[in-house]
Structure 1
Amino acid sequence: MAKPLVGIQPIIFGERKFEDPQGCLDEIVETGYQGVESVNYFDRFDPNEVKRWFTDRGLVVPATHNGYGDIADPAKLAKAMDFVQSFGGRYIICSGTKDRTLSGYDASAEVFNQAGAACGERGLTFLYHNHAWEFETVADGVRGMDRLIERTDPKLVGLNIDVYWVHIGGDDPAEFVRQHGHRSGYYHFKDGGKDAEGKPTFCELGRGTVNLKAALEACLEQNAHWITYEQDRTVNPTRESLQVSRDHLRSLGL
């Protein structure tokens, strides 16, 4: 099987990704990433202009990342699908649910099934992106993540597995991937740990507490298509963080 492609989620740039989008894309290219998981550029700039930014640099846009409200709104979902499809991309990603109650997870699962059906009609794949809070018990010993997996149709709803948040949530990322990777193909690789107060911390790949080597081995077993680096924030220059993380992925064979 071919190696997965290596992408980046531009959250690390903060507001600069909107203030200086082309400068950010230059850093991404210079540090060796092949694709960018798009945020809502299409709501802030002319979509044709955005497309030129990426194509002129040889960057792929495999996915667009959206909030729950955007997925629940058919018009906004259609706009996201139009954008990613214009690049030949494949994935529509959603973060978040209606709320964190059992009924909220059930309602969200229904919305995700509907969104997944709409994506499927256009040859796209809908993915849910996990954080750590879905691994908390919400009622009667049931965890939110388990409820979503149970109540969503695997033919319609896939998983954008974030190995860091699985780790922070208390599960083993490699084992979680082996169990559910048949519903994925697109993975977020993030690293970090917890501070003295138990709050999540973020760092460059290879500098935190996540066993990324084991997680990658599991992803490869599941025929991963994309490994996407994500770091919510950094205390270092962004270019340095991008390079350190890309070099670590190279050391793992990507």
Structure 2
Amino acid sequence: MTVSTVSMERATATQVKPKIGCQLIVFAQREEEDLRGVLAAVREAGFDGVETHILQEGNAAAVRTALDEFGLVQWSLAIGYHQCVDGINQVIDYAKGLGSKFIMVSGVGDHQTRSLRAYETAADLFNRLGARCRTAGVTFCYHNHSWEFQEYDGVTGLERLYELTDPDLVKACVDVFWVQHSGRDPVQFLQQYHDRIGYVHLKDLRYVGPEPRRKGILAGGLDLGPRRYATIMTEAEFRELGTGEVNFPGIWEVLRPLNSPWVVYEQDRATLPPAEAAAISRRYLQNTLGI
């Protein structure tokens, strides 16, 4: 089924603009010390809500009070794999206390022993956690990086994870930076998995390494072992939206007919002051994509 077909099927109602969230990672953990200052900057930039990790030592009431003060909502809660294993009940309670719609996990365990088996083990866990989250009224989803696109006997880790998880229980938080970084086309990837999308991380990339890296880190033979992230960041930069190489107009053409209620801006690092970087990205979404 093509996206255009899906678009026609879903276009029975008037298309609405999504809300725009800001992943607070761009503030480089300043939110831990000055949550209200960060939220004020997010609100001033024009965002509707946030995605965060667990803040205020797990005091959801304190975080929600701060969000309410600035007219923001918590769209998603970001966690690591270890929190799925060791504390999912506390995570769910915290997410519900914030009013979060999503719990988003990245990673499938020990990066040093990555194999298809790691994805298969994670898939079994994620199905169980997805069912538990759904019962609690929260949606569980998985966030990709580029290393999930490494192939094992012709199958990528991400493909196996999607294959073995129930799409009603485990949604996809598609990070377009990392899709492009893997050598794939984010537009084509979103078309292929449109029915799996929970929401999307809009994140821009600019290559700064050798030209062959533009074909993707996997084609370039980059070691995906424990030191991979440091190596990756010598060859690609996180950029404000619209200042890198990701095809956001094409991405928006795929997302628009899906009527996704939210999209989230994310920028893992910024050379500009974080509030300025966030404001530039928000203006790009408004002025160029009309959202």
- Length-normalised TM-score, structure 2: 0.83
Note the C-alpha offset of 1:124. 1.4
Instruction: Identify the residue that residue 9 of structure 2 maps to in structure 1.
Output: none
List, as ranges, runs of 4+ consecutive aligned residues in structure 1 with deviation greater than 6 Å.
Answer: none
Superposed, 1:1-254 pairs within 5 Å as 1-42=15-56, 44=57, 46-73=59-86, 76-99=87-110, 100-137=114-151, 139-196=152-209, 198=213, 199-251=235-287, 252-254=289-291
- What is the RMSD computed on CA atoms of the aligned residues? 1.4
Structure with bigger RCO (C-alpha 8 Å, 6+ apart): 2
Larger Rg: 2
| Cα-to-partner distance string for 1:53-73 (whole Å, 9 max, x where unaligned) | 101111010110000011122
8 Å CA contact retained: 1:62, 1:84: no
- 157-166 or 219-228: which moved more? 219-228
Instruction: Identify the residue that residue 221 of structure 2 maps to in structure 1.
Output: none
Which sections of structure 2, spanning at least 5 residues, go unmatched?
1-14, 214-234
8 Å CA contact retained: 1:185, 1:223: no
Which sections of structure 1, spanning at least 5 residues, go unmatched?
none
2-structure distance, mates of 1:200, 1:152: 31
8 Å CA contact retained: 2:61, 2:98: no
2-structure distance, mates of 1:2, 1:19: 36
8 Å CA contact retained: 2:25, 2:52: no
- Provide the identity percentage: 39
2-structure distance, mates of 1:89, 1:47: 10
Q: Secondary structure at the match of 1:62?
A: strand
Note the C-alpha offset of 1:45. 5.3
